[in-house]
Amino acid sequence: MDFKGNLDRVRRSIVEAKSMGATYRVGPELELPGYGCEDHFCELDTVEHAWECLRELLHEGYTDGIVCDIGMPVIHAGVRYNCRVFVYNQKIVFIQPKRELANDGNYREGRYFSAWQRPGEVDEHWLPLEISGLTDQKTCPFGDAILAFNDAIIASETCEELFTPNAPHIGLSLGGVEVISNGSGSHHQLRKLDTRLDLIMNATAKCGGVYLYSNQRGCDGGRLYYDGCACIAMNGKLLAQGSQFGLDDVEVITACVDLDEVVSMRCAVSSVRDQAARCKAPISIHVDFYLCNSHSKAIRTTQPIQPRIHAPEEELAYGPACWLWDYLRRSGASGYLLPLSGGADSSSTAAIVGCMCQMVVKAVGSGNLEVEEDARRIGQYGPGEPIDNARELAQRIFTTLYLGTVNSSEETRLRSKMLAEQIGSYHLQMRIDMLVEAVVRLFTMVTNKTPRFVTDGGTRAENLALQNIQARLRMVVSFLFAQLLPWVRGRSGFMLVLGSANVDEGLRGYLTKYDCSSADINPIGGISKQDIRRFLQWAAGNLGYPVLEQVEAAPPTAELEPLRDGQIAQTDEEDMGMTYEELSMFGRLRKISRCGPVSMFRQLLQQWSHAYPAAAIADKVKHFFTHYAMNRHKATTLTPSYHAENYSPDDNRFDHRQFLYNVRWPWQFSRIDDVLAEQPSPVEGSWDCRNGIGSVSES
């Protein structure tokens, strides 16, 4: 919805493309309003403002001498479409509506747009008055066609279309199109770039062609981070690749290609020639413009490069760090506050904020004036004060709190302190026992009852209540400090509170509702514990926070129950009745493999037969589904978090399910018992859980 900012970024991209000698420029999907407007697309204002922006581009001469392929919504014959608008020399040359909409997972395009339903047909589109008044052009072609320039043929497919089995690029390539552009709005997900790059390279590997891919980059005001990585491929090879994570608002990549190589490849394979010969010619729209510079002898074509793919640990550092920076600079806040327990989750969140500070300082150092302006404003640097030290920046914009109780160990307090020192955060440590005692005393005064831990002879309910008081009070204290610490330190503004519950805890409901898991935003809420542990090992060396090695090595614990002889007696895995590895497996099977209790049991019977007897597997599956169902209500209030995994339980935008269940699952569990009864009797000693419990592949 930032039309002004978006228009400015489109302008800058065109200027940069022209200065790099380009004659054709493709920008990301719906770039004028922004991809993530969601229900705002249903407002006519959004479409109207997009046309107003386009009018500016035409009027100001940005499209002179360069063909621009711009993403925006267009209403044609009373239907709203997600379109590519091709403009050149202040004229609208053609509008191509998206043919296959994205409607899975995080995407709901069908809610705002219709797909173009008439392949190979073109209508006359009546342009809005503000455009026709400017361009002397009342109509333009609208529909499914290709653009025939004097010396090259171009067509487009939009984002999801690349992912479909019968992708438009197949017919277009066979129909003689040499260059295919793709304006995308594709979000980051761990290990996804691989698939995207494969699809892009494959699109031109079988029957030749040039593929131009452009993508949004940054936080678009929601849980998703769009991960850029614009690229150009030809004949199955990558020629240019933009960065996946970065703080630059505009990044333009170009390549110089010899279209004869496309023709040559196509003519070389007889089956390709034959299929092309049978292909019905697409409708083409002629544009009187020479796209190629065939006469210059000095031109060097761009040579293939190897794709650059980040390790998952790097993705975990840079994706959430960039998302946090975008969020911070646009929120008006003056920093982040994190309750830092010294455990794996809050420590990895702290490391991601540290990584953000490192990226900001690096960007300022490399002359990025926008980042410098934002950093100066948020960090409240005086004019001329250098922004050249990530720890010093962290001291200004990142606060960490250790909120110990009598149940906290000295180890976690020290780890929290050491990590804060290594990152540079403004760190405070305090004991909150007096608050806990005050609340328990109030309860006793009113009810005449004093709850006790199980270790002191209390019931399970008392034990849980005593844990939850500590956890919830930490949340209250965190928000208080976030609001008032800037005032205490003589600064202006407020801080955003960071939450750090991981995806597995969210799924199992192993968290106290409205404790520190209830924050403003959470960078790791979509990341699994296993990935977090890998990230900690990586970050210890690569981000320069060595204490993270100790954090990773420590067993995860909530430290809410009394210590035994000063030692931690409570561990997450024991409390949950399952290991994080098992939980991760349940999470993937439930969401990615779409398993209900019975099919999950059947799958695990295959995968875990070497590790556990069938009856134990049945118990584990039932245990998981019981707790998932008991705690699903917690997913409705999960803090908005960075979407990183396909098995996220985010109830608000991604994983839509009821939150009140019959937690006994009587039908499903008795079917599990039936399947169990059919299993052969176990052979003594044939399982060994050290063999590992497998993995689920994405589908």
Catalytic residue annotation: 29, 98, 159, 341
Considering only 474, 588, 590, 591, the residue that binds ligand ATP (CB under 6 A) is: 474
Give 181 or 407: the residue with its C-beta nearer to ligand ATP: 407
Considering only 34, 143, 379, 556, the residue that binds ligand ATP (CB under 6 A) is: 556
Measured between alpha carbons, how far is residue 450 from residues 463, 473, 562 in Å?
A: 11, 18, 16
Mark 581-600 as b/e (b = at least 16 C-beta within 10 Å).
bbbbbbbbbbbeeebebbeb
Q: Indicate the length of the chain as a whole number.
A: 699
CB of 376 to ligand ATP, least distance (A): 29
Would you say 10 and 27 are in contact if contact means Cβ atoms under 8 Å apart?
yes
Positive or negative torsion for Cα 26, 27, 30, 32: negative
CB of 584 to ligand DND, least distance (A): 16
Q: How far apart are CA 70 and CA 28, in angstroms?
A: 7
Q: What are the tokens at 69? A: 């392929």
Considering only 189, 204, 399, 408, the residue that binds ligand ATP (CB under 6 A) is: 408
**Using CB distances below 5 to 8 A depending on partner kind, what does residue 660 bind out of ligand DND, ligand ATP, ligand GLN, none?**
ligand DND
Q: What ranges make up the beta strands (E) of 30-167?
A: 67-76, 79-88, 91-97, 122-126, 139-143, 146-149, 153-156
Give 227 or 582: the residue with its C-beta nearer to ligand GLN: 227
Number of residues binding to ligand ATP, judged by CB under 6 A: 21
Q: Looking at beta carbons, which residue is closest to ligand DND? A: 558
**Using CB distances below 5 to 8 A depending on partner kind, what does residue 344 bind out of ligand DND, ligand ATP, ligand GLN, none?**
ligand ATP
Per rule CB under 6 A, is residue 107 in the interface with ligand GLN? Answer: yes
CB of 301 to ligand DND, least distance (A): 56
Q: How far apart are CA 517 and CA 536, in angstroms?
A: 20
Place of tokens 């003689």: 176
Per rule CB under 6 A, is residue 159 in the interface with ligand GLN? Answer: yes
Give 182 or 517: the residue with its C-beta nearer to ligand ATP: 517
Would you say 101 and 82 are in contact if contact means Cβ atoms under 8 Å apart?
yes
Give 321 or 475: the residue with its C-beta nearer to ligand DND: 475
Which among 155-163, 165-173, 367-375, 412-420 is the span making contact with ligand GLN, rule CB under 6 A?
Answer: 155-163
Q: How far apart are CA 87 and CA 527, in angstroms?
A: 42
Closest CA to 436 of 471, 411, 409: 471
Give 429 or 468: the residue with its C-beta nearer to ligand DND: 468
Considering only 163, 443, 669, 687, the residue that binds ligand GLN (CB under 6 A) is: 163
Considering only 345, 504, 552, 650, the residue that binds ligand ATP (CB under 6 A) is: 345
Dump the DSSP string for 537-562: HHHIIIII-TTHHHHHHSPP----S-
Considering only 315, 505, 582, 655, the residue that binds ligand ATP (CB under 6 A) is: 505
Give 116 or 510: the residue with its C-beta nearer to ligand DND: 510
Would you say 216 and 29 are in contact if contact means Cβ atoms under 8 Å apart?
yes
Q: How far apart are CA 119 and CA 172, in angstroms?
A: 12
**Using CB distances below 5 to 8 A depending on partner kind, what does residue 340 bind out of ligand DND, ligand ATP, ligand GLN, none?**
ligand ATP
CB of 309 to ligand GLN, least distance (A): 16
CB of 107 to ligand GLN, least distance (A): 6
Q: How far apart are CA 301 and CA 307, in angstroms?
A: 18
Per rule CB under 6 A, is residue 160 in the interface with ligand GLN? Answer: yes
**Using CB distances below 5 to 8 A depending on partner kind, what does residue 339 bind out of ligand DND, ligand GLN, ligand ATP, none?**
ligand ATP
**Using CB distances below 5 to 8 A depending on partner kind, what does residue 159 bind out of ligand DND, ligand GLN, ligand ATP, none?**
ligand GLN
Give 182 or 570: the residue with its C-beta nearer to ligand DND: 570
Q: How far apart are CA 350 and CA 342, in angstroms?
A: 10
Amino acid present at 541: G
Q: How far apart are CA 592 and CA 507, in angstroms?
A: 13
Q: Which residues contact 19 (CB under 8 A, 6 or more apart)?
A: none
First to last CA, the chain: 33
Give 102 or 167: the residue with its C-beta nearer to ligand GLN: 102
Show the binding pattern over residues 376-405: x = contacts ligand ATP (CB under 6 A), - = does not: -------------------------xxxx-
Neighbours of 179 (CB within 10 A): 26
**Using CB distances below 5 to 8 A depending on partner kind, what does residue 633 bind out of ligand GLN, ligand ATP, ligand DND, none?**
ligand DND
The interaxial angle of helices 44-59 and 3-19, nearest 10 deg, is 30
Q: How far apart are CA 201 and CA 306, in angstroms?
A: 11
Considering only 34, 73, 208, 343, the residue that binds ligand ATP (CB under 6 A) is: 343
Q: Which residues contact 166 (CB under 8 A, 6 or more apart)?
A: none
Amino acid present at 424: G
Q: How far apart are CA 256 and CA 377, in angstroms?
A: 40
**Using CB distances below 5 to 8 A depending on partner kind, what does residue 464 bind out of ligand DND, ligand ATP, ligand GLN, none?**
ligand DND
Q: What are the tokens at 569? A: 């007696």
Q: Looking at beta carbons, which residue is closest to ligand ATP? A: 343
Give 195 or 571: the residue with its C-beta nearer to ligand GLN: 195
Measured between alpha carbons, how far is residue 311 from residues 216, 536, 543 in Å?
A: 21, 13, 14
CB of 437 to ligand DND, least distance (A): 19
CB of 693 to ligand DND, least distance (A): 22
CB of 34 to ligand ATP, least distance (A): 32
Per rule CB under 6 A, is residue 186 in the interface with ligand GLN? Answer: yes
Beta bridge partners of 285: 147
Binding site for ligand DND (CB under 6 A): 464, 467-468, 471, 505, 510-513, 515, 558, 560, 572, 575, 633, 660
**Using CB distances below 5 to 8 A depending on partner kind, what does residue 141 bind out of ligand GLN, ligand ATP, ligand DND, none?**
none
Would you say 226 and 188 are in contact if contact means Cβ atoms under 8 Å apart?
yes
Give 93 or 578: the residue with its C-beta nearer to ligand DND: 578
Residues that bind ligand ATP (CB under 6 A): 339-341, 343-346, 401-404, 408, 474, 500-501, 505, 516, 556, 558-559, 572
